[in-house]
Structure 1
Amino acid sequence: MPTVVLVRHGRTAANAAGVLAGRSPGVPLDEAGRAAVTVLAERLRPVRPAVVVSSPLERCAETARGIAAGREVDVDERLTECDYGTWTGRPLAELREERLWKVVQDHPSGVVFPDGESLRAVQQRAVAAVREHDTRLAASDGVGAVWIAVSHADVIKAIVADALGMHLDHFQRLVIDPCSVTVVSYTEHRPFVQRLNDLGGDLRFLHAPDREDRAAATDAVVGGGAGT
């Protein structure tokens, strides 16, 4: 099956100020975020993705356009941010005083945000989106296809937790920084997490000549192998 490159959007003023933007409209990248997207676009230039898919929110759409190198960006609502309900727009320092905060940290699979969405629902819709795009691209572009999905930290963490066979209650152990790259290859038997929260690594391996042969392999290499 194809490989998805999960990209978190660049930094926003809300990120820098410690405010939970959630699905608030009108949250663009800040100057640092735009600069980081320019750097990321250069890193991703050799990848030649089959498609670039984005959350509909402005910060993701802006990031996706910056790395798409002129190609059209598809929008998938299932990659959008968690609906944090009444937590949306509030400072994180204030939210830490809420009783629900500790539940979000220790038992996220049991969380439903006030007037919002559950983290279980976020994981279900996001994983379904990734799997469906993978299946479609395998049929149209082959198992060696690579595609980019631009989304949000909690959404990407939920996808990675699923790929690792990790219970959602452990997903807070994962860190996904702005403009980071996380790479997951799906095969018939299991997913492989090839990069996690990568902020500067060489991504040319995603367009290597033997890409399709490696993508068709479903076994892990005993001893770790020689790397990409």
Structure 2
Amino acid sequence: MQTEIYLIRHTTPDIAKGICYGQTDLDVVQSFPEEVELTRPHLPANIRTVYSSPLQRCSKLASALFPAHEIQFNDALKELDCGTWEMQAWDEISKAEMDPWLKDFVNVTVPGGESYTIMHERVLRCFSEIMQQPSPAVIVAHGGVLRSILAHVTSTPLKESFDVFSLHYGCVVKISGEPGNLSHELLYNYSAAGKEWHRPTVNSSQA
């Protein structure tokens, strides 16, 4: 069965740089309408099904792009659960907690949260189900979720996925082909704000 799925990352969240967040339900910034219009031209008109993380930075984008669709929200498409680190400044998280995760963020679980592997497994279960549904389809989700899917499609090790897939807010990636033989194409990926930084600055975490 031929598949055509468009991955869309949410637009810019309303959060200061340097703050750890995952499943915190952040709102979007005031430039949201303009960001929506930058993403819109890169999507086809014949989308049949729309799936989204229920967090509002995704749900608002899905609703704005596809007002005529019944959006299917799925908790499995949420970002990594950052547990007790949610909404803490990266540089204020204790070194004792942070160092093991920095050394192996794929397998080490965030205190009270998830590891990248745990998130990857739930995302792939959801993605496999979506693959069986009518397409063209859309998935509106988070950077970690999209990278997890792309790592699976391209057989990229999870530990390399953040370096291999630089995905800016509002980006669009097309996945197409048959199960076991999928390809991806980056249709839109622009950031006026530059590179994000979702980890402590060097040598700054507290003992």
Pair 107,183 (structure 1): closer, same or farther in 2 beyond 3 Å:
farther
Pair 81,48 (structure 1): closer, same or farther in 2 beyond 3 Å:
same
Match of 1:31 in 2: 30
SS in structure 2 opposite 1:133? helix
Q: Say whether the 8 Å CA contact 1:41–1:66 is kept in structure 2.
A: no
2:186 alignment partner, one of 191, 195, 198:
195
**Structure 2 counterparts to residues 47-196 of structure 1, below 5 A:** 47-95=45-93, 98-99=95-96, 101=98, 103-137=100-134, 145-173=135-163, 174-195=165-186
1:13 and 1:33 map into 2 onto residues whose CA distance is: 10
Deviations 1:144-184 (A, max 9, x none): x3111011111111111111101112122122211111222
SS in structure 2 opposite 1:182? strand
Q: Which runs of 5+ in 1 are unaligned?
A: 138-144, 201-228
Deviations 1:183-202 (A, max 9, x none): 222414322112276349xx
1:104 and 1:166 map into 2 onto residues whose CA distance is: 20
The two structures have a TM-score, normalised by structure 1, of 0.74
The higher relative CO (CA closer than 8 Å, separation ≥ 6) is in: 2
1:188 and 1:167 map into 2 onto residues whose CA distance is: 19
SS in structure 1 opposite 2:132? helix
Tell me which amino acid in the other structure corresponds to 1:184.
Answer: I
SS in structure 2 opposite 1:136? coil
Q: Say whether the 8 Å CA contact 1:8–1:177 is kept in structure 2.
A: yes
Over the residues paired in the alignment, what is the CA RMSD in angstroms? 2.2
Deviations 1:48-83 (A, max 9, x none): 211111001111100111111432211111101111
Tell me which amino acid in the other structure corresponds to 1:23.
Answer: Q
Match of 1:217 in 2: none
Pair 62,10 (structure 1): closer, same or farther in 2 beyond 3 Å:
same
Pair 109,132 (structure 1): closer, same or farther in 2 beyond 3 Å:
same
Pair 98,151 (structure 1): closer, same or farther in 2 beyond 3 Å:
farther
**How many residues were matched structurally?**
189
Tell me which amino acid in the other structure corresponds to 2:125.
Answer: A
Matched, 1:22 2:22: yes
Pair 47,20 (structure 1): closer, same or farther in 2 beyond 3 Å:
farther
Tell me which amino acid in the other structure corresponds to 1:147.
Answer: A
1:166 and 1:157 map into 2 onto residues whose CA distance is: 10
Q: Which runs of 5+ in 2 are unaligned?
A: 192-207
Match of 1:40 in 2: 39
SS in structure 2 opposite 1:121? helix
1:168 and 1:103 map into 2 onto residues whose CA distance is: 17
1:21 and 1:8 map into 2 onto residues whose CA distance is: 15
Match of 2:203 in 1: none
